[in-house]
Chain A
Amino acid sequence: MIKLELPVVKFSQDQKDFRATIRSFLQNERLAGTFESKCDSWLSGDSIEFSRKLGQKGWIGMTWPQEYGGGERSAIERYILTEELLAAGAPVAAHWFADRQTGPLFLKYGSEEQKQFFLPQIAKGECFFSIGLSEPNAGSDLAAIRTKAERTDGGWLINGSKIWTSGAHISHYMIVLCRTSPYDQNQRHAGMSQLIVDMKEKGVTVRPIQFLTGEHHFNEVFFENVFVPDNRLIGTEGNGWKQGMAELAYERSGPERILSTYPLLEEMIHILRENEDEAGLKETIALLPDLWTLRNMSMGVAKYLEEGQDVNMIAALVKDLGTVFETNVAEKARLIISRIPSMSSNDRLSRLMAQSILHGPGFTLRGGTTEILRGIVAKGVVAQ
């Protein structure tokens, strides 16, 4: 029988108090004008200062061991932190990938030297990572990547390119998935490795790709004989595919797959309440059961992840439903409150609508397209 049940997460009093602490910090920051609440802030809202501030508070790498600068808190506490940041639309993009998946990757596969060198810097909010996966000819079919690393004295030389790399222009390092053995049609997932590339290294070129709004958050990155020392291989040579796939569970099931348009929903409800518009509220509330359910699913996955369970299929399932919900918020909003969406409007709701609509196409593409995810889910349940 298919295991379709996720654990129900309940918060302790300590965890509730922690939430209150985060909430008042964010409220103060907002009042001080540090940031403006934006939709999709985890990808498009970066602030080096804000990331550093979170690092100082111990709010990056908070589940990691203390010897590496972490806080040894639980996955549920990290969940509380991330969802509060996202709901507030805070600018967290700079450190997001390092905190979410590079840290756990190091903890699982990294060498002792790597853990001691990178994790404390990441936790301080002073070291940002980007994730180099897609290439011009390898999108959903990730196993088609061609970027290669060849042996040289004391390390590797990387040649090739990565594309759609979010935050490459502000990150210090990139985890590059590349071929360390030649491409083999019969064993497509073999021969790949994960290398840490220092973005300041000679031969690395970052070319901005303008998003359809004109904003800049993703990039094309070129590697021309880029040297990577031996000690910057993560895990085992040739094991890159498996290591990379393990990261995806962290990438797919988090609150950022549900809450990208939450600031819009909150603003709508705020306006409808002010206007005592009961009919509008009723229409808006039709979105709530999905949000409430998805949040509980996502927390259940976080709990499973912490217990070390295999959540590959269920994480794909949550991301599929979550991202469809995110786009649905934008579609419903425009019919419930009439506004002309505009990125530059003085009206907050118009701006949030514009952000939600224009960022919408990314929700169901990034981190595995809906089509790929549904394939994973279907194969997962058929196999069981």
Chain B
Amino acid sequence: MSESYELIMDSTNKIFKHYCTKELLDRAENGHWPQELWDVLAEAGIISIGFSEQAGGVGGDYIDAYNILKLAGKYGVPVPLAETLIGKWLFAEVGGQVGDIPLTLALQNDSNFSFVDEGDGYTLGGSASAVPWARYMEQILICGDLNGKQVAALVPLAHAEIREENNIAAEPRDSVIFSQVKIDGLTVYQVDSVLISEKSLYYLALAKAAMMAGAAERVMELSLFYANERQQFGRSLHRFQGIQHHIASLAGETVACITAVNTAVQALQDGQYKTEIPLAKMKVSAASGKIAMAAHQLHGAIGMTYEHSLHHLTRRLWSWRDESGNESYWGSVLAKSLIEKNSPTLWEVLTDEQNLLIVD
């Protein structure tokens, strides 16, 4: 964590709190792009944290960045902050620079982009699905094949066909299709596509986990407020033992989510994350369903209405737990590696921070 950590968190919290009101979230899921919020975040350097100034960032480390994402999850921030941050880090690693525009990315192996060199530009074909916020973005970071070599490029989305789709939190998850279009003036960067794809997946998985932990914190705050305020049978809800068990479960799972994320973020900061990030994403994904249901049960009918703000958080929990690998996906990854003959034992993995040999 950087020296100015407290200051960064405090000012980020203030910005999110001021802008990300229920009204803004309602409008965002009905087709509004909150440019003003983006400009404020860009101005404050929040979209460029976690990498050096030489590379176009504002400094800070992964601990700063992921704690900002935790806050973003808490307020349901309706812009691609995780995608922009991670896109910028990865693009900076291969030598590119992005600037202050919002960014989305599709670097995973399952996309199938291919470039053809035309001398003064490239022809690009291929598609990717569930691309966050693509409809509002000017550029997308992708990687693909160029004459048998793997390259990455920041491509203008004006050349793409975009099919609008949403996750269950009504966040844009669009299909992006490039139909052999010629794009002039494009710069491509040679990359290790396996590595960049893997990093993108792991970083995004941890981002989703951090955002879910933040959302869980907010769900808990709303639940505590309601359990205090709401009276039934002449008493506040929190006086009933049954309700206390929901509160204890919410508190327990929330602390667990935060601990899982903090541990994995520290591991990433220390350059080691291949076991920790899958474990954190699995833990938080599994907890998020419990958290959402306990909060709804506690809130009763009012929590199911569009008017209440609980759904902005619970629908995000239900969406994000399946994005960037759910429990089953990451469970398979860990099982595959644990079955390798020369893998460390379970206890060694847990206690010696020994990475499993992740195989694809």
A interface residues (Cβ-Cβ under 8 A, vs B): 1-2, 4-6, 8, 10-11, 16, 19, 80, 83-84, 87, 265-266, 269-270, 272-273, 276, 278, 281-282, 285-286, 288-297, 300, 314, 317, 320-321, 371, 373-375, 377-382
Contact = CB atoms under 8 A, between A and B. Distances in A.
A295 B217 contact: no
A76 to B, nearest CB: 12
Given A19-B352, A269-B338, A289-B286, 14 more contacts: A2-B221, A6-B262, A8-B266, A273-B338, A273-B343, A282-B328, A289-B279, A289-B283, A292-B260, A293-B259, A293-B263, A296-B263, A378-B247, A381-B220
Binding site secondary structure of chain B: helix
Interface stretch (B41-49, B94-102, B158-166, B250-258): B250-258
A16 B352 CA distance: 8
B350 interface: yes
Listed residue (B243, B254, B335, B350) with the most chain A CB atoms within 10 angstroms of its CB = B335
B238 interface: yes
A200 to B, nearest CB: 41
Given A4-B258, A292-B260, A321 B252 contact: yes
B306 interface: no
B256 A374 contact: no
Interface in B325-359: 327-328, 331-332, 334-336, 338-339, 343, 345-347, 350-353
A371 B248 CA distance: 10
A6 B335 contact: no
Contacts of B347: 87, 266
B351 to A, nearest CB: 7
A220 to B, nearest CB: 30
How extensive is the interface on chain B, given as a class? 35 or more
B259 A269 contact: no
A288 B356 CA distance: 13
Interface in B209-247: 217, 220-221, 224, 227-228, 238, 241, 243-245, 247
Contacts of A300: 259
Given A83-B351, A286-B331, A292-B350, A378 B248 contact: yes
A289 B335 contact: no
B248 A4 contact: no
Nearest to B334: A285
Nearest to B346: A269
B106 interface: no
A382 B238 contact: yes
B206 interface: no
Interface of B: 217, 220-221, 224, 227-228, 238, 241, 243-245, 247-249, 251-256, 258-260, 262-263, 266, 270, 279-280, 282-283, 286, 327-328, 331-332, 334-336, 338-339, 343, 345-347, 350-353
Given A6-B259, A281-B338, A292 B279 contact: yes
Those 8 A-B pairs whose CB atoms lie nearest each other, nearest first: A378-B244, A289-B283, A374-B248, A282-B335, A289-B282, A377-B248, A378-B247, A281-B335
Nearest to A80: B351
A98 B283 CA distance: 35
Given A269-B346, A289-B282, A278 B248 contact: no
Contact of B247 (A1, A269, A292, A381): A381
B339 A281 contact: yes
B245 A374 contact: yes
B339 A295 contact: no
A100 to B, nearest CB: 20
B85 to A, nearest CB: 21
A290 B283 contact: yes
A286 B248 contact: no
Nearest to A292: B279
Nearest to A295: B350
Contacts of B345: 266, 269-270
Contacts of A269: 338, 345-346
